[in-house]
Every structure is written in C-alpha cells, then in structure tokens.
Amino acid sequence: MTCNDSSNGSQEITTCFPKPDRDTEPHITIFFNLITCLCGLLGNGVVFWFLSFHIKRSHFTIYILNLTVADFSFLLGRIIWYLAKILYIYTSKLLTKCHMFYICHGTLVFNIFVYNTGLGFLMVISVERCLSMLFPLWYRYHRLKKKSSICAFIWSLSVFMAVLEFYFEIYMGDTYKTWRYIISIFSCVLNFLVSTPLMVLSSLILFLKSWQQPKQHHPAKLHITILVTILMFLLFGLPQKVWFVVHFGFKVAIHRSISIIFELLSCINSSANPAIYFFVGNLWKNKKRRSLKLTLLRAFKEDFQRTEDGMTLPATKSEIIGRRDTQK
C-alpha cells in the first residue's frame, strides 16, 4: 500500500490508497497477491470446516482451529483491499478517494488485529507443547483446562493492541508523537522480546526433544506440524510486523518495492498452513490413499510412529476415530 497524506477536517492524518497511476505498482503483483490469498482462503476454509464439524477436537486442535480462523480472516481482509485497489485503479468512478480512505483503514486495523491473534496462538501452541514434553506429569495435572478462557484472552489482547497501534501509530501518529513512540516500543517488546523469543526457544527445545527419540521412531507429526508452521511464520510472517513498526511507528521511509515484497510474504504465510498440514499428514504413509480428513488427523497426531514394518505406537483418540471412519 502506498501511504499518502490526506486531510480530514483540520487534522492531518495518514492514509493509504493507490494512486490512479498505472505505473505506481506492477499490476502483476496485485493479481499474484490476490490469487495467493484466494488459494489460502480456500485452504483455510477447508481446514476450518473439518476441524469444526468433522474432527473431534483434541487439546491442541482447539488452538489450531483458532489459528486457522485468524489466517482466514487475514486473507479475507487482504482480498477486500486488493479488490478495492483494482476497482479504484481501473474504474475510479466506482470508488472515490474517500471510499478508499475508509476501506484502507478498515482493512488495515482488521489485519493488525488478526495478525496479532495468529502470533499469539502460535506462541501458546509452541510453549504448551514444549511444557508437555519437558514436564509431562506436571503438565497432565496442572495444565489449564479452560481453553476457551485462553483463546478469549488472546483475541481480546489482540484487538486491544490493534486499536492502540492503529490509532496512535497510523491515524493520529503525527499528533501524539510521544504516545506513538510509547506504543511502538511496547509493541516491539511484546512481539520481538516476549512472544517471538518464547516461540523460538520452545520450538528449539521441542525440536531437540523430538529428535532424541529412539531411531526406530519417527517424531510425532504434531511436533513436525508445529515446527514447520513456526519456521514459516519466522521467514514469511514476522517481516511484515517489522515493516509495520518501522514504517508506521518510527516513521522510517521504506522503498515501495520492499513493501510489496513484505505484503507478498505475509500472504504466503497465512496461506501456507493448510499445505503444511497436508504435507505432514502424508509423511511416512503407506501406498494406500487416505481421505483429507484422515490426512489432517495424521498431521495432528501426537504419538511416535515406528519405521519398522509400518507399526505405530498406541494412537491418540483422534487417530482411533480416523481409523474407525476409514473402516466404515
């Protein structure tokens, strides 16, 4: 998005809308991002459908379901913005500058909200799984059973931070400079010094513990799913947050081409999780074809699979349910 200054009454406020100049941004990037978002929206929609209505929810699939909702919502916001941008560039009579102002700000605060939510659930997933590996007995008897409370807290904190970041860093950033710096520093601490380090550290421990298992066992597929998802976020999702804080919070000018790349990376990050689930679910499988439902069940399986003779250790409840479904 290209950011320009637009006035609202007597106040100068920062907005973002595409100039109706066909040379400001390569059109192929807009359409490529749009196609990526549409594919990701379809994939996350399928995962959401199965986790909501066809797969019995387990301890960690509740978090994964919320993560899927966050990714789906992020992609939906991006699609709305790209469609509005295309309409504004090619048919400026349908959408005026005023329309683009509200669409831009609406989708921007919405995407900040769901981005923060996705980061929160990734951190909780990795930390809880790490605790379950390091202290299995303690975790079994002391883990928080009210998952709805944890999910509600993450969603609430995310919307609170999104409103603060949007209002003080974007909407009124030039008016309340002191508050803009305070919110930006607080956001950096929360995202880069708390959430991300906890996620990376717990993932590293999870990786080491998983690969310390006997050689005749494969790592639990749930661990592989978590590790690959977090690695994808660090490579493709985190740069978008860095760009946002640097550009809007500290008002550092960033070249348009870099912004386009970060937009594309964020779209790929939110679109990749369904492909990761499908890929992990098909690891070490027999030649027998499996349904999409069973593939998802395998991606979230918590046991360790033997490499000899295709035997497996005692399966989880979700795996047993999946086997029953295949026998019907």
Render pLDDT for 67-125 as a digit per residue (tens, 0 to 9). 999 999 999 999 999 998 888 888 767 777 788 888 888 999 999 999 999 999 999 99
In whole angstroms, what is the distance from residue 74 CA to residue 41 CA? 9
Measured in degrees and rounded to the nearest 5, phi and psi for residue 14 equal -90, 130
Name the E strands within the chain. 3-8, 11-16
Confidence of residue 271 (pLDDT cuts 50, 70, 90): very high
User: Would you state the pLDDT for residue 144?
Assistant: 58
DSSP percent split of the chain into helix, strand, coil, nearest 5: 70, 5, 25
Measured in degrees and rounded to the nearest 5, phi and psi for residue 15 equal -130, 180
Collapsed DSSP state (helix, strand, coil) of residue 18 = coil
| Number of domains into which the chain is organized | 1
Percentage with pLDDT > 70 across the chain? 77
Taking residues 138-151, report their average pLDDT. 75
Whether residue 12 has pLDDT greater than 50: no
Confidence of residue 53 (pLDDT cuts 50, 70, 90): confident
Higher pLDDT, 324 or 72: 72
Its domain, for residue 125, covers 3-327
Taking residues 18-24, report their average pLDDT. 49
Instruction: Answer whether 157's CB lies under 8 Å from 120's CB.
Output: yes
Whether residue 307 has pLDDT greater than 50: no
* CATH (domain of 217): 1.20.1070.10
Task: Say which amino acid occupies 175.
Answer: T
Whether residue 305 has pLDDT greater than 70: no
Instruction: Answer whether 123's CB lies under 8 Å from 231's CB.
Output: no
In whole angstroms, what is the distance from residue 254 CA to residue 251 CA? 9
Highest mean pLDDT among 65-74, 134-143, 242-251: 65-74
Q: Nearest 5°: CA angle at 58, between 321 and 237? A: 120
In whole angstroms, what is the distance from residue 326 CA to residue 221 CA? 19
| Average pLDDT of every residue of the chain | 79
Task: Say which amino acid occupies 278.
Answer: F
Our measurement of the distance from residue 247's CA atom to the centroid of its chain's CA atoms, rounded to an integer in Å, reads 21
Instruction: Answer whether 77's CB lies under 8 Å from 111's CB.
Output: yes
Instruction: Answer whether 301's CB lies under 8 Å from 318's CB.
Output: yes
Confidence of residue 13 (pLDDT cuts 50, 70, 90): very low
In whole angstroms, what is the distance from residue 186 CA to residue 114 CA? 18
User: Would you state the pLDDT for residue 275?
Assistant: 93
User: Would you state the pLDDT for residue 68?
Assistant: 95
Whether residue 273 has pLDDT greater than 50: yes
Higher pLDDT, 81 or 56: 81
Q: Nearest 5°: CA angle at 274, between 268 and 277? A: 125
Q: pLDDT tens digit string along 171-203? A: 776 778 888 889 989 999 999 999 999 999 999
Whether residue 268 has pLDDT greater than 90: yes
Higher pLDDT, 98 or 146: 98
pTM of the model: 0.82
User: Would you state the pLDDT for residue 297?
Assistant: 82
Q: pLDDT tens digit string along 198-232? A: 999 999 998 888 777 655 455 677 888 899 999 99
User: Would you state the pLDDT for residue 312?
Assistant: 37
In whole angstroms, what is the distance from residue 110 CA to residue 279 CA? 30
Collapsed DSSP state (helix, strand, coil) of residue 306 = strand
CA distances, 160 to each of 100, 166, 250 (Å): 24, 10, 20
CA-nearest of 125, 108, 248, 121 to 188 is: 248
In angstroms, how far is the first alpha carbon of the chain from the final one?
51
Length of the chain: 328
